[in-house]
Amino acid sequence: MDRKRVLITGGAGFLGSHLCERFLGEGHEVFCMDNLITGALRNVEHLVADARFHFLHQDVTEFIHVPGDLDYVLHFASPASPIDYLELPIQTLKVGSLGTHKALGLAHAKGARFLLASTSEVYGDPLVHPQKETYWGNVNPVGPRGVYDEAKRFAEAMTMAYQRFHGVETRIVRIFNTYGPRMRLDDGRALPAFMGQALRGEPLTVFGDGSQTRSFCYVDDLVEGIYRLLHSGEKLPVNIGNPREMTILQFAKAVLEITGAKCEIQHKPLPEDDPKIRQPDITRARTILGWEPKVPLEVGLQRTLDYFRGRVGEPERV
């Protein structure tokens, strides 16, 4: 097999670490770049013994350098949960703008194929349902969530500009809600919040009446979709996510059922600009990539629960 050299920014994060694992498993050499602002070394510590794995403690918004050739650059560096990007608004905007510029510049210099981790948040609080890649979105640029939404929208525009102006081979994945091992219990997203509360015997916090919907994709399915997109010829954005839509209240009850917890559900006010609906149209992924999610919710929840059971009470950012 032809071994490739791959840079993954944000490689010590939840998604980045699973991608590092996948590329090593495929026989490639992996450079994992992370400043550890939201990532954690323990996510990749099991990979350090592999001579093909290299950890670079570096901020992608600064000058970045990787010695030798590079075949692929996957740009996954960014705070990705509401708690993180509301605490780190300037860093979120910088990694989406300056970080994307630096990563694209490196890909251009090395003649590497570039893949951008974008997000369903580019659709904002959508007025179209389900969301197709052709939908331009409904985003509040001056709201608190705008720092993440607009950073990713800018990153997409920058990526397309490098493709059109510099001829860089680029791919854009729009990632919908994803869950699985290596999420942080304190990252504020629905699944780790619910599981952490259930395991500690605390009430589960549901914002609003819980009727807002999300579509949850297990991380192994997402990584498969990303891997296929990178190796495809598709230059336009592709949604990768699970089209099985459910309300947040239904999801909370599913977590209670799988954990066996007898906790109450506690309602709190809905955060500003929180999307009311979220469901990917994955027609493009099915057609172009032959991809769709395989892992049932119940199986994914059990795998994630097994991981979290050993994490309750531990410090998160190690």
Q: Which residues are catalytic, by number?
A: 148
Burial class (CB in 10 A: 0-12, 13-18, 19+), 161: middle
Closest CA to 32 of 50, 248, 177: 50
Containing 206, the helix (H) or strand (E) segment is strand 204-207
Helix 297-309 crosses helix 248-259 at what angle (to 10 degrees)? 60
For 106-167, the DSSP string reads: HHHHHT-EEEEEEEGGGGBS-SSSSB-TT---B--TTSTTHHHHHHHHHHHHHHHHHHHHH-
Assign 247 to helix, strand or coil.
strand
CA pair distance 277, 137, nearest whole angstrom? 12
Assign 221 to helix, strand or coil.
helix
